[in-house]
Amino acid sequence: MDRSELAGFLRSRRERVGPREAGLAPGGRRQTPGLRRAEVALLAGISVDYYIRLEQGCGPRPSGQVLTALGRALRLSDDESDYLLGFAGRPPPRPSREVPGNVLRLLERLDAVPAMVINVRYDVLAWNRMLTALIGDLAEAPPERRNTLRWLFSGRLDEDKRALARRCVADLRASGRYPEDPAVREIVAELSAASPEFAALWAAREVEVQRTLTKRAVHPVAGELELDCEILPVPGTDQRVVLYTAAPGSLSRRGLELLRDG
């Protein structure tokens, strides 16, 4: 268990919750924002000393019961609660770069929808013909460059990309694979050193599993595109299928049809 990560996460979430939100009286002047440690301990039904040790990165691994109580006290979202429970020792999905055969066959059948398979660190492991038509032939890029986080943080982030970047970084942390997974630790270290934007987003410790995203782009053939990205987990692995779709009757749908027929 990474005690320093648990400590940092608890501190960041405690500072985010005000006493009134937690059903407590403000209780005089506060030197720092958010709840006091004693208030979190009271709300979670644990001793103040035990909670202080958790925020200091000390003590034994907390139980799922304690972490569930802390999640309620800190008013965590479902994704944040799941992330917190990971510190109780829940094993993450098995990492793999081999895409299951049934998923590869699914990609082949999606002849009107750009689709790809990514793993927990956003490496692109497989893709279909429509994705090639949309973004170019990934087979021409070396495997280490087939990573959507590297693409995202390689240039300037405009407003749309900044919102997308925040959600992707929150999703990476929500996987619960950092820092135990060396591959995830490696890309976090790489991007933190190369991109101040990534470093700031990672330090914010936001946690949110991504299920649907919206991406906007200008394609030389299809024109302006606004695509919904549906992200579907592959059971038993750390992989996900990403599908790019457009609203019926929209110019973006017509753009995808141009790519399909081209």
* Whole-angstrom distance, CA of residue 186 vs CA of residue 179: 9
| Residue 96 belongs to some domain of the structure | no
Q: Are residues 44 and 74 part of one domain?
A: yes
Question: Range of 197's domain?
Answer: 101-261
Q: Are residues 15 and 117 part of one domain?
A: no
CATH number of the CATH domain containing 113: 3.30.450.180
Number of domains the chain is built from: 2
Q: Are residues 114 and 172 part of one domain?
A: yes
Across the chain, which has 262 residues, the per-10-residue mean pLDDT values are 89 89 76 86 93 89 91 93 85 74 94 94 95 93 92 87 93 90 93 96 94 89 92 91 95 93 82
Encode pLDDT of 78-109 as tens digits: 999 989 988 887 656 566 789 999 999 999 99
Which amino acid, residue 254? Answer: R
| Residue 114 belongs to some domain of the structure | yes
Encode pLDDT of 120-142 as tens digits: 999 999 999 999 999 999 999 89
Question: From residue 227, how far is each of 89, 120, 239 by CA, in Å?
Answer: 37, 22, 21
Q: Are residues 165 and 65 part of one domain?
A: no
pLDDT of residue 38: 92
| Residue 212 belongs to some domain of the structure | yes
Q: Are residues 145 and 216 part of one domain?
A: yes
Question: If we measure between CA atoms, which residue out of 153, 87, 147, 151 comes closest to residue 121?
Answer: 147
Q: Are residues 50 and 74 part of one domain?
A: yes
pLDDT > 70 in the chain, percent: 97
DSSP secondary structure string for all residues of 44-107: HTS-HHHHHHHHTT-SSPPPHHHHHHHHHHTT--HHHHHHHHGGGTPPPPPP-SSPPHHHHHHH
Q: What angle do CA 117, 119, 122 make, to 5 degrees?
A: 95
Q: Which of 88, 116, 141 is the last residue of a domain?
A: 88
Q: Which of 21, 54, 88 is the last residue of a domain?
A: 88
Q: Which of 88, 109, 126 is the last residue of a domain?
A: 88
